[in-house]
Amino acid sequence: MIPVILSGGSGTRLWPLSRKDHPKQFLRLLSDDSLIQETLLRLRGVTEQKPVVICHESHRFKVLEHSRQINQPLASIFLEPVARNTAPALALVALQRVALGKNEPLLVLPADHRILDTKAFQQTLNIAEQHALTGALVSLGVEAEEPHTGYGYIKRGGQKGNAYRIESFHEKPDLETATSYVESGDYYWNSGIFMFQPEAYLDELQRNEPSIVVACHEALSGLHGDLQFLRIDEKAYARSPSNSIDYAVMEHARKGVVVPVACGWSDIGSWTALQACSESDKNGNVINGKAIVEQCRNSYIRSGHRTIAAVGVDNLVIIDSHDAVMVAAADHVQQVSGLANQFQADASGSLLQEEEVFRPWGHYKNLSVDKGYCVRKLSILPGASLSEHSHKLRSESWVVLKGEARVYLDGQIHDLGPGESINIKSPLKHRLENIGKGTLEVIETQTGPTLSEEDIDRV
């Protein structure tokens, strides 16, 4: 089987930590690994095939860095120039595999789910693969532990060996309906995890949404490689209808089956869902980071930069990020997306919206930004370097904190160690390289009338 990781979600219900430019799959919420790293790690032992990742082009360096950190090579990274939901995204991979004469089952996994029982999950994948090899389109149905209004449901039909025919899909229900689903024993939570052969998927997609197939086929005609990234024709892909695999394919699949699984699954779709996945204290509180609490009950408190102090609060969610603090009643967390949209509109143009920005050479973090200046911390990987460039409107200075730096400045070479610095006047050409064995850490200070990223003339 070929793992295909869907990493296109925005995760706005986990704002203020999850952002458009840094969505939840890149957050470390449950362990020292990010959610996308946990997804990649649980595939070890399942298949020797390298995963394919589908993401928005603005996230490409994040995906590359997160896979590098856990030493997980990727087969390729498909870049979506515009978001068109899961059905077109998977059509790109399926069409490419068929064009190569390959028809191995594709294992489709969201990048941002939690699974506690990896062994049970992997055993279920083996069962799913047996059905996928017969041409079936397989959905993993999670055995419902309780009535849940935040999940979609799959109703099972007649039994097919160790799976069941899919009778119908159901959107997120109200509590009364969800309770009836669970009590009947005929419904599973829709995990969003699928397996099918490329040809079987494309046959169903062609039957139900042929315009998606046409648009994706045209988009692939402009396919070209860029490092590990695969770029497609943006205009052609933008013509594709936006639709999910559930609506476009699985609800209409003639050979759809659901394989039950009990593996401690959650899609971590809200702060209360994350709270339910975490260990609480004797008062039902889940606390991450620095917090002082008195007489608080059943609350989720997460501190990133400051100490949170709370007294006498019940059923609250309090989240501290680098530039915002969010407080919500536990029964209102599904409405956090609205706050995220307002914040994004108000903060447009702010250089501090995202803490870490990833590049091929490493990443940087904005430390202080105001009119006329910006202070950043650069972290440059061993052997990596920034491209040679110049600026018309700003000057820079670099101070080495850790590691060994080589600076190419206006035709001269300067080697710098910790505590040493260099000033770069506009418009001199310059380049920074890590010549050490460890990560190079540098403080960069920019000054000038404008600090736009457009003021870069790359050589």
94 and 225 assigned to the same domain = yes
Indicate the length of the chain as a whole number. Answer: 459
Q: Which residue, of 232, 266, 300, is where some domain finishes?
A: 266
Tell me 244's DSSP state.
-
- Span 71-89, mean pLDDT? 94
- Span 337-348, mean pLDDT? 78
429 and 316 assigned to the same domain = no
Residue-wise pLDDT for 215-235, tens only, equals 999 999 989 988 789 999 999
Comparing CA positions, the residue from 3, 91, 10, 75 lying closest to residue 39 is 3
96 and 183 assigned to the same domain = yes
DSSP string, 274-336: HHHTS---TTS-EEESSEEEES-BS-EEE-SSS-EEEES-BSEEEEE-SS-EEEEEGGGGGGH
- Span 330-338, mean pLDDT? 89
- Span 95-120, mean pLDDT? 95
26 and 172 assigned to the same domain = yes
Q: Which residue has the tokens 């390289």?
A: 433
With H, G, I as helix, E, B as strand and everything else as coil, classify residue 56: strand
pLDDT number for residue 368: 87
Q: Over the chain, what is the mean pLDDT?
A: 92
Q: Which domain holds residue 334?
A: 271-345
pLDDT number for residue 369: 86
Distance, CA of 27 to CA of 22 (rounded, Å) = 8
CATH code for the domain of 58: 3.90.550.10
User: What share of the chain in percent tops pLDDT 70?
Assistant: 98
Q: Which residue has the tokens 């609800």?
A: 251
pLDDT of residue 351 exceeding 50, the answer is no
- Span 402-423, mean pLDDT? 96
Distance, CA of 140 to CA of 132 (rounded, Å) = 12
Its pTM stands at: 0.85
Residue-wise pLDDT for 245-285, tens only, equals 999 999 899 999 999 999 999 988 889 989 988 999 999 99
Work out whether the CA dihedral 329, 332, 335, 336 comes out positive or negative: positive
Contact 269, 13 (CB under 8 A): yes
Q: Which two tokens stand for residue 236?
A: 């052609």
Which helix (H) or strand (E) segment holds residue 256: the answer is strand 256-261
Distance, CA of 459 to CA of 457 (rounded, Å) = 7
Q: Which residue, of 345, 373, 397, is where some domain finishes?
A: 345
141 and 67 assigned to the same domain = yes
298 and 154 assigned to the same domain = no
Q: Is residue 76 part of a domain?
A: yes
Which helix (H) or strand (E) segment holds residue 342: the answer is helix 336-346
CATH code for the domain of 432: 2.60.120.10
Q: Is residue 339 part of a domain?
A: yes
- Span 70-79, mean pLDDT? 95
Q: Which residue has the tokens 């070209």?
A: 224
328 and 424 assigned to the same domain = no
Give me the number of domains the chain comprises.
3
Distance, CA of 227 to CA of 232 (rounded, Å) = 14
Nearest 5°: the CA angle 313, 314, 319 is: 75
Q: Which residue, of 266, 285, 309, is where some domain finishes?
A: 266
pLDDT number for residue 318: 96
- Sequence-distant (6+) residues with CB within 8 A of 248 are 87, 205, 208, 209, 212
Residue 388's pLDDT band, with cuts at 50, 70 and 90, is very high
User: What share of the chain in percent tops pLDDT 90?
Assistant: 76
Q: Which residue has the tokens 């407080």?
A: 327
310 and 453 assigned to the same domain = no
376 and 336 assigned to the same domain = no
Q: Is residue 233 part of a domain?
A: yes
Question: What type of residue sits at position 442?
Answer: V
Question: What type of residue sits at position 192?
Answer: G
pLDDT of residue 355 exceeding 80, the answer is no
**Residues β-bridged to residue 139:** 194, 258
229 and 368 assigned to the same domain = no
pLDDT of residue 354 exceeding 80, the answer is no
Distance, CA of 351 to CA of 374 (rounded, Å) = 9
Q: Which two tokens stand for residue 12?
A: 């706005």
pLDDT number for residue 309: 96
Q: Is residue 352 part of a domain?
A: no
178 and 300 assigned to the same domain = no
Distance, CA of 320 to CA of 328 (rounded, Å) = 12
pLDDT of residue 347 exceeding 80, the answer is no
Tell me the angle at which helices 86-99 and 210-220 cross, rounded to the nearest 10 degrees. 60
Distance, CA of 46 to CA of 390 (rounded, Å) = 48
Q: Which residue has the tokens 């870069």?
A: 456
Q: Is residue 353 part of a domain?
A: no
For the chain, the straight-line distance linking the first and the last C-alpha, in angstroms and rounded, comes to 43
pLDDT number for residue 352: 44
- Sequence-distant (6+) residues with CB within 8 A of 376 are 364, 365, 366, 367, 443, 444, 445, 446
Contact 188, 142 (CB under 8 A): yes
Task: Decide: residue 111, CB within 10 A, 0-12 exposed, 13-18 middle, 19+ buried.
Answer: buried
Distance, CA of 155 to CA of 314 (rounded, Å) = 37
Instruction: Among 156-165, 347-356, 370-379, 384-393, name the one with the lowest average pLDDT.
Output: 347-356
pLDDT number for residue 349: 45
Q: Is residue 351 part of a domain?
A: no
Give the number of other CB atoms < 10 A from CB of residue 423: 11
59 and 113 assigned to the same domain = yes
Q: Is residue 354 part of a domain?
A: no
Which helix (H) or strand (E) segment holds residue 369: the answer is strand 362-370
pLDDT of residue 357 exceeding 90, the answer is no
Comparing CA positions, the residue from 176, 191, 178, 179 lying closest to residue 268 is 191
Higher pLDDT, 319 or 334: 319
Q: Is residue 355 part of a domain?
A: no
pLDDT of residue 350 exceeding 50, the answer is no
DSSP string, 81-98: SS---HHHHHHHHHHHHH
